[in-house]
Amino acid sequence: MAGLLAPHPPHLVYAENPEQNEPSSEGGWEQLRWGYERLRESLSEIDYDCLVILSPHWQTYVGTHFLGVENFKSLSVDPVFPNLFRFHYDMKIDVELAQAIHDEAQGQGMSVKMMENPDFRVDYGTITSCHMVRPQWDKPIVAISSNRGHAYYSVEVMQEMMLELGRATRKAIEDSGKRCVLIASNSLSHRHFTTESAVPEDMSVEHITSHAMHLWDMRIIELLRAGKSQQVVNEMPEFVEQAIAEADGGALTWMLSAIGMPEHGAILHGYGTIIGTGNAIMEWPCHAWSDA
């Protein structure tokens, strides 16, 4: 098992110019794309069966949902950046593992549901992170929604639910015997510009929105590099409130819980901003830890 923080701004796919994406670019956001390159290199050394991902852009307001159809194939258009992301995806789902995590979470009293509509359009967060982690699209995926508990309760309640979902995920994966890479798909600080430059990939205008956002990003990265996962979870309410952090969707807390709230330091593969938001690419190579 390995855990990843793998952010999903569609700009990264746009800048890569894969054949599945309709718009074309002159590149951009290289610091982050080189970070993803280093992550892919690191993952190429391990053999795994499946990607398990939680995306804050699949928003379900009644419980946590799991994609529950073997194959999803369609066009995904980013609602905010249709000029950057019109991506033709063809995705295999590990329905068996999705169902097992669903059942385990249900057994723990969580509100959960399998999403069995074959015409459902998969969100761009799931697609972007999966593409950047594994552009070959040859691994089955378990995709988990964000139940937005912070919106109608609080960040604290959302965290508790994600800790429980993480434990259920871990138990179901262990029982399945499958080797999984778990992806928290989110940016860190998430205050973004409200206008776009004429050339979106013009890097002369790319920077963090404010010093305060930079300080929060660096704090979270240093804590994770130092193995202080529990402290990050403890500080999440302040981080979410002050940095409008995209970890509000629960992905980071879920992933840290699923890999056992590690005290081992994470590897930082890259950091960069995208329309002012802070994004870190990080890896927790649990498979290499003797106590894992």
**Binding positions for ligand 2X7, rule: CB under 6 A:** 8-10, 187, 192, 246, 274-275, 277
**Lookup: tokens for 235:** 């500080």
Q: Minimum distance between the CB of residue 43 and ligand 2X7, rounded to whole angstroms? A: 22
Q: Are 8 and 143 in contact (CB under 8 A)?
A: no
Measured in degrees and rounded to the nearest 5, phi and psi for residue 24 equal: -120, 155
Q: Minimum distance between the CB of residue 16 and ligand 2X7, rounded to whole angstroms? A: 15
Cα-Cα-Cα-Cα torsion 199, 201, 205, 210, nearest 10 degrees, comes to 130
Q: Minimum distance between the CB of residue 138 and ligand 2X7, rounded to whole angstroms? A: 25
For ligand 2X7, give the closer residue by CB, 278 or 285.
278
Q: Are 85 and 132 in contact (CB under 8 A)?
A: no
Q: Minimum distance between the CB of residue 274 and ligand 2X7, rounded to whole angstroms? A: 5
Q: Minimum distance between the CB of residue 148 and ligand 2X7, rounded to whole angstroms? A: 15
For ligand 2X7, give the closer residue by CB, 257 or 277.
277
For ligand 2X7, give the closer residue by CB, 192 or 264.
192
For ligand 2X7, give the closer residue by CB, 184 or 275.
275
Q: Which residue is nearest to ligand 2X7 (CB)?
A: 9
* CA distances for 100 relative to 71, 93, 105, 170, 172, angstroms: 18, 13, 9, 11, 6
For ligand 2X7, give the closer residue by CB, 3 or 9.
9
73 burial (CB, 10 Å; 0-12 / 13-18 / 19+) is exposed
Q: Minimum distance between the CB of residue 206 and ligand 2X7, rounded to whole angstroms? A: 11
* CA distances for 81 relative to 7, 85, 135, 252, angstroms: 16, 6, 21, 24
d(CA 168, CA 185): 19
For ligand 2X7, give the closer residue by CB, 4 or 275.
275
Q: Minimum distance between the CB of residue 178 and ligand 2X7, rounded to whole angstroms? A: 28
Q: Are 140 and 94 in contact (CB under 8 A)?
A: yes
DSSP characters for 142-193?
A: EEEEE--HHHHT-HHHHHHHHHHHHHHHHHHHHHHT--EEEEE---SS----
For ligand 2X7, give the closer residue by CB, 9 or 149.
9
d(CA 73, CA 289): 37
